[in-house]
Structure 1
Amino acid sequence: MKKYARVVAGKVDNIFETANPITDEFPADQVWVDVSALPKIDYSWNAVNTNGVWTFTDSDMWGQPSLLAMQLRNARTNRLDKANTTLATSALVQKVELGLATPAEKAALLEYKQFFIDLSNVNKQPGYPLTVNWPEVP
């Protein structure tokens, strides 16, 4: 997996991880930079290209994550926690794997799988990160 940062107007406005070439995931006219080797990067960081070498710096001199980055992370984490708690306590995955699930339980597990796929694609939405249509937890 590689980690990429999309740069718009000198700022990081999207972060995406993929095993595929980034141009398979997003239009080729967008500026995506491989940041896999960086120990840390976040939304709203400054991005500067000097003779083909990208540098990224925290836009907040106090080192605090931006409010937008914190809100996105919290919204995503809350949804993941809720879904994972329900899956763990209902044992849906185990019931399906062991052949013990009812048709309704099998359908419910498929809904959760689709939810996780939709959640992983949130940052592909037009207007992201300023506009986010979060998938509903089943």
Structure 2
Amino acid sequence: MKTYARIEDQRVAEIVSLNVKPEKLYHPSLVWVDITALPEQPDINYRYSDGVFTAPVTDAENAALIASSRLAAEMDGANRVIAPLQDAVDTVMATEEETARLTEWKKYRVLLSRIDVSAAPDITWPDKPK
């Protein structure tokens, strides 16, 4: 008996164990891959591409990836606001308003740096300064 995975849209849609090739029992348009000899058997929803099976991304992994992207974007934005404000302070050209804004943006950047993206989606994002 052999084990086969039916592939649909580059994902494992079904797994069957048969004594005959699946083409003899199922419609010939279906795509089947013999997985009998694989050391680690794929499961439903595993991705399949170029002969390789990979586990699907879990919701938690996906949430962490999204949070990581957002964190990078937020930090980049904060750095772009902070740089000219810091230059104004360093060159003794800053107004009181610019100095106050610099402090608020630096606090925001510190709060961002403390975010643990692995806690996604349960992250409380700090409020962006104005």
TM-score, length-normalised on structure 1?
0.46
Larger radius of gyration: 2
